[in-house]
Structures are given as C-alpha cells and as structure tokens.
C-alpha cells in the first residue's frame, strides 16, 4: 500500500521533471529565436570586409567603420529629427490623451455617448486614406519636405485624441468617491484633477509618455509622404528604408545594421527602465478593451 503510493508520488515527480525540462527547452529555443535577429544586427554592424549582404554571421574583420560612415552621412540629421519629434510628441500627446480620457471617464455630459460612438466609427476608416489629404494640407502650410518635422508633430499630436481607450480604462478604476469627497471639501473640478487624480495616475501617465515617445521612431508611411525625398526632413525610418532599396543595399547594408543599433539602444533602455508601467498599461488596456 505504502509502496504504491510512493511509486505514484515518484511517477508524478518524474513526469513533472520531464514536462519542466521540455518547457525549459522550448523557452531556451524561443529566446534564441527571438534574439538571433538582434544579435545578427549587432554583429553585422561591426563587419568591415564588405558592405553588402553575406551568407555568414561572424564578421571576418571587425571595426567601427560602419559607425563612422553613419556619423558622416545624413543619419545624424535624421536621428536628430526623430528624437526631436519623439520628445515633443511625447509631451503634447500625453496632455491631449489625458484630457480626453479623464473627461470621458469622469464627466457625464449630453454628447458624451454620441462622441464616443462617433470616434469608434471614425477609427474604422483606414488611416491610410487620410494621408493624401493631410499631406496636401501640410504642403499648403509649407510644412513638408525640409520643414517636415513641425508638420509631422502637428499631425501626430492633433490626431492623438482618438487613442484614449487605455488611459480611460485606467481612470475608470480610480474610485469616484475620491472626487466626490474632494468636491464636498470645496475643490473645483480642475483642482480634483491636478491634486487628486494626477498623482494617482502616475503609471498611466508614464505609459502614455512611453508609447507616445516610441511611436515616432517607427512611423514610416506618413513620414515618407511628408518628407517626399528631401533628406533634411526625413526621420530614421524613412531614411534607413532607402538604404535597403535595390540601388543602395550593396553599399549600405552594414550601415543599416549600425543605424539600427544606434536607434534601438536609447529606445530599448528607456523601455526596459519603464517596463513595469508598460506592462500595467497593456494588461489593463486589453482587459477593458
């Protein structure tokens, strides 16, 4: 009797060890698959012997040549453009999104439901459609090509009010009784926002800043429209995309890798530092839909 129990226990333990081993193998394999492209990028960025694509990973000759070439190219300008856009957009977009989401979470006014439904419907139109016209409007305002940076900032910030869902979901979780208590004590609505809600909303504020900052680094289509072939107005995505086109890839492939590393480093560091808030925002937002 006792023996069989022990055997069963042993069996359970063995099967758990086996399943855990399988899981470890899968996880290690996954980590490798997920990291390989990035390791390759880093390695290729140090390859000196040739600038085109090759069929091996480890460079035969190491050096900083690609980074030096990068420094001497338009990349510096693109990088500055993108950084500037990301910085300004991060601030302004956060303000707009917070205004929008706080209002829709806390106030009950006549047009509120209609407004939310309207924005839901607006969101179903492919954004691609509006690019042509936005481009023409910016062109009329003189904010394209070399002046693309303010133009891009304007468009990113102006249309950011639609992305209020995640932070509204967060505000919804802050109890309304807090507002009411402050109101009874004589605080105005504005004071409730600045003195009570904002200090509590730190995670979502950071989440919004983080996503707003990361967005412009990856924007490609609209930025390409607006800069329209003028190098001075490009962001990193548009500029580096041109390096991988058929006519340039032979000379610029390794430079692209070096550029990728330089772009990824600050964003990744920032992201890893604020990861906690990002996870909170993403999980909260998905649950609220």
Partner 1 sequence: MKKYSDLEFLKLSKGQKFVYRLTSFFAAIPRAIARFFLAIGRFFKNAALGIGREFADIFTTFKEGDWKTRASFLVMGLGSIARGQVLRGLMFLLFEAVFLFYMITTGGYWLSLLPSLGRIGPHEEYNAVLDAYTTAYGDNSFKILLYGVLTIFFIVAFLYTWRLNVKQNKIAQEYQRAGRRLKSSADDLRSLVDEQFYKTLLALPLTGIVVFTVLPIVFMILVAFTNYDGAHNGYTNALFSWQGLANFRTLLTWTGSGVNYSATFGEILTWTLIWAFFATFTNYFLGMFVAMMINKKGIRLKKLWRTVLVMTIAIPQFISLLYVSKMFAKNGIVNGLLLNWGWIDKAIDFWGSTAHNGLLPRVMVIVINIWIGIPYLMLIATGILMNIPADLYESSRIDGANAWQQYTKITLPYMLFITGPYLLTSFTGNMNNFNVIYLLTGGAPTNAAASGAAGSVGYTDLLVTWLFKITTGAEAQYYLASVVGIMVFVVVAAISLVVYNVLPSIKNEEDFQ
Tell me how far apart the alpha carbons of residues 167 and 208 are, in angstroms, rounded to a whole number: 8
As measured in angstroms, the least distance from the Cβ of 101 to partner 1 is 10
**Contact flag: residue 260 with partner 1 (CB under 8 A):** yes
Least distance in angstroms from the C-beta of 209 to partner 1: 14
Least distance in Å: CB of 40 to partner 1? 6
Instruction: Give, as ranges, the residues between 127 and 186 that touch partner 1 (CB under 8 A).
Output: 127-130, 132-134, 136-137, 140, 154-155, 157-162, 169, 172-173, 176
Q: Report how many residues bind partner 1 under the rule CB under 8 A.
A: 92
| DSSP H or E stretch at residue 107 | none
Whether the CB-CB separation of 205 and 97 falls below 8 Å is answered with no
For partner 1, the closer CB: 5 or 33 = 33
| Binding to partner 1 in span 63-102, by CB under 8 A | 96-97, 99-100, 102
How many angstroms separate the CA atoms of 289 and 283, rounded?
Answer: 10
Residue placing its CB nearer to partner 1 in the complex, 65 or 213? 213
From candidates 33, 114, 184, 185, binder to partner 1 by CB under 8 A: 33
- Identify residues 237-256 at the interface with partner 1 (CB under 8 A): 237, 240-241, 244, 249, 253, 256
CA dist., res. 254 & res. 41, Å (int): 8
List the Cα angle 285/263/73 in 5-degree steps: 150
User: From residue 248, how far is each of 53, 251, 253 by CA, in Å?
Assistant: 12, 6, 8
Binding mask 178-217 for partner 1 (x = CB under 8 A): ----------xxx--x--------------------x--x
Task: Give whichever of 68 and 158 is closer to partner 1, judged by the CB atom.
Answer: 158
Ranges of H-type helices in the chain: 2-45, 65-72, 75-106, 112-122, 128-140, 148-158, 165-173, 176-184, 189-191, 198-200, 202-218, 221-227, 236-243, 249-273, 275-288
Instruction: Considering the complex, state which of residue 40 and residue 91 has its C-beta at the smaller distance from partner 1.
Output: 40
**CB-wise, 11 or 37, nearer to partner 1?**
37
CB of 47 to partner 1, least distance (A): 12
DSSP one-letter code for 47: B
Q: Give the range of 4-12, 70-78, 122-130, 197-205 binding partner 1 by CB under 8 A.
A: 122-130
CB 82 within 8 A of CB 236: yes
What is the closest distance, in whole angstroms, from the C-beta atom of residue 146 to partner 1 in the complex? 21
By the rule CB under 8 A, 11 interacts with partner 1: no
Q: How far is the CB of 102 from partner 1 (least distance, A)?
A: 7
Q: How far is the CB of 24 from partner 1 (least distance, A)?
A: 7
Q: Is 258 in the site for partner 1 (CB under 8 A)?
A: no
DSSP state of 229: T
In DSSP notation, 154-206 reads HHHHHTGGG--HHHHHHHHHS-HHHHHHHHHTT--HHHIIIIIIHHHTHHHHH
- Residue 113 CB, nearest distance to partner 1 (Å)? 9
């Amino acid at each position: 009797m006792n023996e069989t129990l022990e055997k069963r226990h042993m069996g359970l333990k063995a099967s758990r060890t086996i399943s855990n081993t399988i899981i470890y193998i899968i996880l290690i394999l996954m980590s490798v698959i997920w990291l390989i492209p990035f390791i390759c990028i880093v390695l290729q960025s140090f390859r000196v012997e040739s600038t085109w694509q090759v069929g091996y990973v480890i460079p035969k000759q190491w050096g900083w040549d690609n980074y030096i070439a990068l420094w001497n190219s338009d990349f510096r300008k693109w990088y500055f453009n993108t950084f500037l856009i990301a910085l300004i957009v991060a601030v302004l977009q956060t303000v707009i999104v917070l205004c929008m989401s706080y209002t829709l979470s806390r106030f009950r006014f006549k047009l509120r439901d209609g407004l939310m439904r309207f924005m839901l419907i607006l969101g179903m139109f492919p954004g691609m459609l509006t690019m042509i016209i936005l481009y023409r409007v910016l062109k009329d305002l003189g904010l394209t090509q070399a002046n693309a940076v303010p133009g891009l900032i304007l468009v990113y910030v102006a249309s950011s009010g639609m992305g209020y869902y995640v932070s509204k979901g967060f505000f919804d979780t802050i109890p309304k009784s807090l507002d009411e208590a402050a109101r009874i004590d004589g605080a105005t609505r504005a004071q409730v926002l600045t003195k009570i809600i904002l200090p509590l909303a730190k995670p979502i504020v950071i989440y919004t800043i983080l996503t707003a900052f990361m967005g412009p680094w990856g924007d490609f289509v609209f930025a390409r429209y607006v800069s329209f072939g003028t190098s001075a107005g490009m962001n990193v995505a548009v500029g580096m995309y041109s390096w991988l086109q058929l006519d340039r890839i032979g000379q610029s492939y390794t430079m692209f890798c070096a550029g990728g590393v330089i772009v990824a480093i600050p964003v990744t560091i920032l992201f890893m530092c604020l990861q906690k808030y990002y996870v909170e925002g993403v999980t909260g937002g998905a649950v609220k839909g």
